[in-house]
Amino acid sequence: MPTTLSSLPNELLLQICKRLASDTDLSNFRLVCRRFGEVSLPALGTRVTFALLPESINRLRDISSDPVFSGHTTTIVCLMSVFYPYTTVKSLKLSMTKPFTSGNHGNHAAHDVGLSEDDWEDSMMHYGQLLAAQNEAFETLEMSQDIQIACRRFTNLQNLHFREDHFRPDHFRNNQAYQFLSQRHGDLRHCATLPAFNFSVFPHRIALPGVYLLSSLLGAIPESQLRTLQVDALALQVFKEEDEVYSRMKKGIQSLHTLKLCVWATNEDDEKERADQLLSTNRLKNFLCSAPHLEVLEVDINGAFFWTAIYYANSAYILPRDHTWHRLRRLCLSQVELLTSHFLEFLSFHGHTLEYVGLGDCAIVGPPSQGLQRCFWSEIIIPLANTYSLANLSLSGWFMVPPFPMQDPDQEIRVLPAMNMDHDRVKDVNLLVGKAIEMVACSKEFLSLLQAGVGRQNGLTLDTHRSVIQGLVVEIKEGIIRDLMDREPVKPARVETVIVPTRYSDYLKLFTQDDEWGSL
């Protein structure tokens, strides 16, 4: 009997569906017969994405009404990026010729220069229609129950992702104003602005879109159903007071397993003190603690202040002192100032479940009782390497240490620049400092190499001298960490790579010769 498409097993048919060239081909495949339609369901994907325009929200409603998609969709993604509210032809011209946002995605189209004043007035009219559509989308999210009814139709919905992303034409193809402007002016991403940014300049909705989206969509999903929440840009202002929005957010995340949160402070230099005040209320920490079943927690504080160093949020305002998350496996912190004693105490509560710790662009401070006495990163890294069975320790970006006084007490306090884990390399080894420490702390293969090397050098065997060998191995691991982390940070440079020596480079070189680490 000849083999035909219909005679293939379902597993092969599904693999064929996943490799079809386009969504149109997949749609045509599903229309062949009922069996093909059912087999191809997993190939459709389980994610629905919508943007802040009525047409895109209507598309979300239509998908939710489909009996197939309503039960198959597990993830809703909302694009939070918004159009900047230019109100005059002059301001619109400026945006087209000199993009407002820091991310310049290319010059304006060449034919923009030749537009007449009537053309610019026409563009301004269409831009006003685009802003009106954006405003209508916000009102739909705030006032209408339709969006919540639509979300409730997704019976298997488990994940929400509020993405700070560039505009995607697929989600604006039905908006005539957007299509007109994109044809006349090309890429409109330079008219987009970041959410949760410049609160004093932007209208409230545009500065805080994540707040509106969270307060609306969290109320549409049963509390016991949501497993993952990711918000790429949430304004710190949402934690200013315990209002209805804040209470709804706390209630909606009680069953979360994964929470990834990027909290935006502000870019205004005089707002640093206000950001500290908001964090000191502990509402952000209380919000995080309202999800006791967390297995993955990622908190990124985004607060770059003009003319100053990066803003660091104190870990005491983020991490609790008690044993809150009994299942915590993965912890990632970015732009956080770690209070040494507080962070180690937190690790002692959760160390038996932690498998991954990631630190990016972090600072370190010692106990308040030490005043301006200098502390060292090794005070945190060594316990991570020796006390906890981490599968991975990731260090990336700029790492700060506190200022400390010079030997002469009459001299001013010296502020040390940051160490760059992404570029600083270990001397004589083609290995980044952060990767070297990760290897020392987590690699079981490196541990075996150290044990064998120490045994040979000292005439010891692991069977009879295990405790002695283990003590020497710990001494070497601690020595490598201190050599790499307790150095005086270097002044940041654009291209210069700082070479950091260690007394134990021979072990690192030996291990990286035939290992994947050597290619990093």
Amino acid letter, 184: R
Rounded CA-CA distance 244/255 in Å is 19
Domain that holds residue 477: 417-520
- Please report whether residue 85 resides in a domain: no
CB-based contact 123:181 (threshold 8 Å): yes
- Please report whether residue 434 resides in a domain: yes
Q: Hey, which bits of 66-136 come out as E strands?
A: 75-79, 82-83
Structure tokens at 368: 């308040």
- Please report whether residue 439 resides in a domain: yes
- Please report whether residue 442 resides in a domain: yes
* Residue-level pLDDT, tens digit, the chain, 520 residues: 577 777 778 778 777 777 776 667 777 777 778 777 777 776 666 888 888 888 888 888 888 888 878 888 889 988 888 888 888 998 888 877 654 443 434 444 434 557 889 999 999 999 999 999 988 888 887 766 777 788 888 888 899 998 877 667 677 878 899 989 888 887 787 787 766 655 556 666 666 667 777 777 887 777 678 899 999 888 888 888 888 778 888 888 889 999 999 988 765 556 778 888 889 999 999 999 999 999 999 999 987 655 556 788 999 999 998 889 999 999 999 999 999 889 999 999 998 999 999 999 999 887 665 555 668 899 999 999 888 889 999 999 989 887 655 545 555 555 566 888 988 999 988 899 999 999 999 999 999 888 888 888 888 888 788 888 889 999 999 999 999 998 876 555 555 788 899 999 888 888 887 554 444 4
- Please report whether residue 403 resides in a domain: no
pTM, to two decimals? 0.85
Rounded CA-CA distance 22/379 in Å is 54
Question: So what's the pLDDT on residue 462?
Answer: 80
Task: Output the CA–CA distances (angstroms, integers) from residue 383 to 377, 379, 392, 393, in the order listed.
Answer: 11, 7, 14, 12
CB-based contact 495:413 (threshold 8 Å): no
- Please report whether residue 125 resides in a domain: no
Residue 442: alpha-carbon gap to chain centroid: 23
H/E stretch holding 387: none
Reference 377, options 367, 364, 386, 359; nearest CA is 364
- Please report whether residue 3 resides in a domain: no
Structure tokens at 283: 């509402």
Question: So what's the pLDDT on residue 308?
Answer: 58
Parallel/antiparallel/unpaired status of strands 82-83 and 192-193: antiparallel
CB-based contact 259:298 (threshold 8 Å): yes
Q: Dihedrals φ, ψ of 199, to 5°?
A: -65, -30
Rounded CA-CA distance 259/135 in Å is 29
At 413 the three-state DSSP class reads: strand
- Please report whether residue 471 resides in a domain: yes
Structure tokens at 77: 């993604």
- Residues pairing with 494 in the sheet: none
What's the number of domains the chain is made of? 1
CA dihedral 2, 5, 6, 11 (to 10 degrees): 120
